[in-house]
Structure 1
Amino acid sequence: KTLYKGSGGGASEAGLKIDALYGLRWGTLEVRFHDSGGSDHWQGVPKMPKGSLLLRDLGYFKVGDFQTVAQAESFFLSRLMHHVNVYLDAEGKQEMDLLSHLAAMAENEIQSLKVYIGQKHLFEVRLILQKVPQAVAEHKRHKLKTDKQNKRKNLSGRRLELCCANCYITNIPEEMVADSQIMVLYSLRWIIEILFKAWKSIDGLKEKMNRMKPHRFMCMLYAHMIAALMDTKLVHFFKIESWNLFGFKISELKAFKVLKPFKGQWWKALREADPQLIELILIDIADTFMRLAGKRKYSQREQYCDFYICVKSQT
């Protein structure tokens, strides 16, 4: 019996996708499982306090969800889906020629426009365009072709042409976040990629598994995910505490590696519900993080995917 269907074609007949929703400020995590054959999809909008920001990848692009977020007086930020029509007026009479507009832009130029997207009911958004260098555009096209050929899907010419730019949509006012900072803000989404890398390479969440009975598979899956989520919560806690108390930045991947030798003691302490043992282990973990899990020294690239630009306090 196949619990989760794969992509078919050259890929496996069985496959599982894990969706993760990460509350960056609060350290909350929600995961969902579904077939790998379908597109990434998160049903509806998560519960968010007023004024929160929802960052989404293209796999979760849904105009209706963005409208819901805006109506709840919160904010969203996403890349623009290649097939979405963009209009310059609220009535949808003047469609924007996005490719022509990008062709007239210089390399590394950034522009921001008020536009409208949607089908039946057009929705006003702020469109931020960043023209990338030719070498970057070619790299994006190559990566896109390689990925899609593996899944035996066709690529439209428009999608390949749009690789010449980074296109974002948001409802964040320009006076709140400048155009040049939108890319920095969106790069925080890569924290999810780092988490998945840690879960697979360090926590043992395997990319490939042997055939087994459904109940055994589900037990293994839930056991791995519970352990991974516990580790993630610990790392998140110590990242904020070390920053608030000492101005010390912790690397996620280093922290997960450092945490691995403590797992036996940690789970033993939790099973026995021994407060003193738990406290001793946490102190030991904190000390080891400070010695071995420090983030590299500041460089120009650190402005991207930097957890600390938006998290100021523990909650």
Structure 2
Amino acid sequence: MSSSSLPCKLDSPFHRIRILDSTVFQLPDSYAERYQGSGGSAHAAGMKIRLEYELKTGSFLQVDVGPGKNSDRLYGTQRTKTVEEKELCIRDLGYFSLGDFEEIEERGAFYVSRLKVNVRVYEKNGNMERFKDGKVKKQSLYKEIDIEAIMDRLELGEIIELPEVYLGRDKKLRTRLLIYKLTEEQTQKRLMVCTQQEKKKGITYKERTKFLKILITY
């Protein structure tokens, strides 16, 4: 299935631009045996549709329908196995995986993703600590970046680039990070979405999580 192609000079470096996302909706409880829900909103049954779309040609690369409880992250890992050289992968936060990003790079491809708020960001430490024998202490190779302190220095609508950072406490995935501070209007929209998600999922976000969801995109 395809539609008209997308003419754009910016997409020329990429053979394909792959967009992966999903949507989930509730079903009557009588469908719970076949389509088990994710547990939100007190519904026992739910269906999830996952779609990977190729933006340059308008083609569907993959469409899957299954229970609402199915993991997006595991599905993203499956789709990563099909990524080819010089492709660009754009994914929703539900598919966030440092391991997948690393494999995409190893395949000679590229990715764009927002950053999960619980993932730590590091830079190389210019003042590494050493043992008496001169060997560098492993825990001093990197130092954590204070993202919130950076946000405090930005003007509304301002964007900055950190060309080399390392993600994850253990993996230390080398990548490029873009930090954008939302405008007042964008902030209010994010607050509204956050409130809707809390009500829908029956959860309460921590204040730090709300702050970062509102102010930072990657």
> What TM-score, normalized by structure 2, do the two folds share?
0.70
Q: Kindly indicate whether residue 122 of structure 2 is the aligned counterpart of residue 87 of structure 1.
A: yes
SS of 2:124's equivalent in the other structure is coil
**Distance change (3 Å), C-alpha of 1:34 and 1:92:** farther
Deviation (angstroms), 1:153: 1.8
Q: One-letter code of the match for 2:43?
A: S
Deviation (angstroms), 1:139: 2.0
Equivalent positions of 1:80-229 (< 5 A) are: 80-89=115-124, 93-113=142-162, 114-168=164-218
> What TM-score, normalized by structure 1, do the two folds share?
0.49
Give every structure 1 segment of 4 or more consecutive aligned residues whose post-TM-superposition deviation is greater than 4 Å.
none
**Distance change (3 Å), C-alpha of 1:145 and 1:39:** farther
**Distance change (3 Å), C-alpha of 1:135 and 1:12:** same
Q: Which runs of 5 or more structure 1 residues have no equivalent in the other structure?
A: 169-315
**Quick one: distance in 2 between partners of 1:115 and 1:105?**
19
1:177 alignment partner in structure 2: none
**Distance change (3 Å), C-alpha of 1:48 and 1:9:** closer
Higher mean displacement: 137-146 or 125-134: 137-146
**Distance change (3 Å), C-alpha of 1:29 and 1:84:** same
**Quick one: distance in 2 between partners of 1:93 and 1:156?**
27
Give the structure with higher Rg (CA): 1
* TM-align CA RMSD: 2.0
CA deviations 1:252-281 (Å, max 9, x no partner) are: xxxxxxxxxxxxxxxxxxxxxxxxxxxxxx
Q: One-letter code of the match for 2:56?
A: R
User: For 2:54, which of 6, 9, 23 is the aligned residue?
Assistant: 23
Deviation (angstroms), 1:141: 1.7
Structure with bigger helix share is 1
Q: Which runs of 5 or more structure 2 residues have no equivalent in the other structure?
A: 1-31, 126-139
Deviation (angstroms), 1:152: 0.9
| Number of equivalenced pairs | 168
Q: One-letter code of the match for 2:106?
A: Q
Sequence identity (%): 29
**Distance change (3 Å), C-alpha of 1:37 and 1:125:** same
Q: Kindly indicate whether residue 72 of structure 2 is the aligned counterpart of residue 40 of structure 1.
A: yes
SS of 1:127's equivalent in the other structure is strand
Q: One-letter code of the match for 1:15?
A: G
Q: Kindly indicate whether residue 33 of structure 2 is the aligned counterpart of residue 2 of structure 1.
A: yes
